[in-house]
C-alpha cells in the first residue's frame, strides 16, 4: 500500500544517463521526496529547489560517506564495453563502483535500494555484460537493505546525448521479432527509459520489504499509475 504523503530523501547514481535523467525529473515532481541528491562525475544541465548535485571521485568514495545518508537509493549507473574501452574498465564501472555505492548506502542506513540491471542478467551467462550484471545483483542482494528492487529492462529507447547505432538497430530487430513471435519475446522487447524510471518511482512507494526482481515485461504495468497521472495533469 502506498504512503499518502512523505518527505523522504532520494539518492541517485547515474543521473546523467538515459534512465537516470528521467528518474530525477520524476523524483522532483513527486510529493514523496523533499530532497533529491545526485552523486556523479558531472552535473545535470538543469537546477531545481529540491535538487542537490555533488561531484564525486569514484576512486575515493569513502571520503564522501556523509553524502550517502538517504531513505531511498536509486542506482542507474552503467556503461557499455565499447564506451568504457575494455572489459576491465567496464567491470570497474558496472561492478566495482556500483557495488561500492550500494555498500556505502547500506552502511549509512538507507532503507530501499533500487537498481537498474539488465534483461538476461546471470552470472552463468555466456555474455560478459550479462555476467557482470548478474554478479552485481547477487552481491547487492546480501546487503542489509529493508527492500531491494532489481529492474531488468531490455534495450532502452529515448533521446540520448550520443548516438548509439548498435542499440538503435537492436531495438528495431527486437520489436520486429517480438511482433512476429506473438509477444513471446516480451522479456526482450525494447522499452522507453521514461517507463523504467516511472516503474522505479512506483516500486519505491509500494513499501514492500524483501528482494524483488522486476523483469522487462512487468515494467509498463508498474509505471502505468504514474504515467496516467501525468497524462491527466492539466496543461499550463
Question: Domain residues for 215?
Answer: 8-160+192-232
How far is residue 77 from each of residues 32, 37, 66, 176, 211, measured CA to CA in Å? 23, 14, 20, 29, 20
How far is residue 204 from each of residues 5, 7, 20, 24, 178, measured CA to CA in Å? 13, 13, 15, 14, 29
Number of domains in the chain: 1
The reply to whether 165 falls in a domain is no
Which residues does 69 contact at the CB level (< 8 Å), separation at least 6?
9, 108, 109, 110
The reply to whether 88 falls in a domain is yes
Grid cell of 159 as nine digits? 533521446
The reply to whether 36 falls in a domain is yes
Give the pTM: 0.86
Mean pLDDT, rounded, for 31-40: 96
As annotated, the active-site residues are 129, 133
The reply to whether 183 falls in a domain is no
Percentage of residues in the chain having pLDDT higher than 90: 75
How far is residue 124 from each of residues 94, 98, 135, 138, measured CA to CA in Å? 17, 20, 9, 12
CATH number for the domain that contains residue 92: 3.40.50.720
Least confident of 105-109, 110-114, 205-209: 205-209
The reply to whether 176 falls in a domain is no
Mean pLDDT, rounded, for 144-164: 83
pLDDT of residue 3: 42
If one compares 223 and 227, the residue with the highest pLDDT of the two is 223
Amino acid at each position: 500500500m502506498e504512503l499518502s504523503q512523505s518527505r523522504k530523501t532520494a539518492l541517485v547514481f547515474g543521473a546523467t544517463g538515459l534512465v537516470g535523467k528521467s528518474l530525477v525529473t520524476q523524483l522532483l515532481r513527486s510529493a514523496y521526496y523533499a530532497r533529491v541528491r545526485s552523486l556523479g562525475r558531472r552535473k545535470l544541465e538543469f537546477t531545481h529547489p529540491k535538487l542537490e548535485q555533488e561531484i564525486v571521485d569514484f576512486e575515493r568514495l569513502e571520503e564522501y560517506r556523509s553524502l550517502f545518508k538517504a531513505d531511498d537509493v536509486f542506482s542507474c549507473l552503467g556503461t557499455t564495453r565499447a564506451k568504457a574501452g575494455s572489459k576491465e574498465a567496464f567491470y570497474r564501472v558496472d561492478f566495482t563502483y556500483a557495488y561500492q555505492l550500494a555498500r556505502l548506502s547500506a552502511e549509512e542506513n538507507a532503507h530501499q535500494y533500487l537498481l537498474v540491471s539488465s534483461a538476461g542478467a546471470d552470472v552463468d551467462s555466456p555474455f560478459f555484460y550479462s555476467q557482470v550484471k548478474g554478479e552485481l545483483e547477487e552481491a547487492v542482494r546480501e546487503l542489509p537493505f529493508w527492500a531491494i528492487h532489481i529492474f531488468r529492462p531490455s534495450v532502452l529507447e529515448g533521446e540520448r546525448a550520443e548516438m548509439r547505432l548498435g542499440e538503435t538497430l537492436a531495438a528495431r530487430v527486437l520489436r520486429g521479432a517480438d511482433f512476429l513471435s506473438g509477444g513471446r519475446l516480451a522479456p526482450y522487447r525494447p522499452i522507453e527509459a521514461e517507463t523504467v524510471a516511472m516503474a522505479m518511482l512506483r516500486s519505491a512507494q509500494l513499501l514492500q520489504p524483501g528482494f524483488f526482481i522486476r523483469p522487462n515485461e512487468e515494467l509498463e504495468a508498474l509505471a502505468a499509475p504514474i504515467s496516467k497521472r501525468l497524462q491527466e495533469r492539466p496543461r499550463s
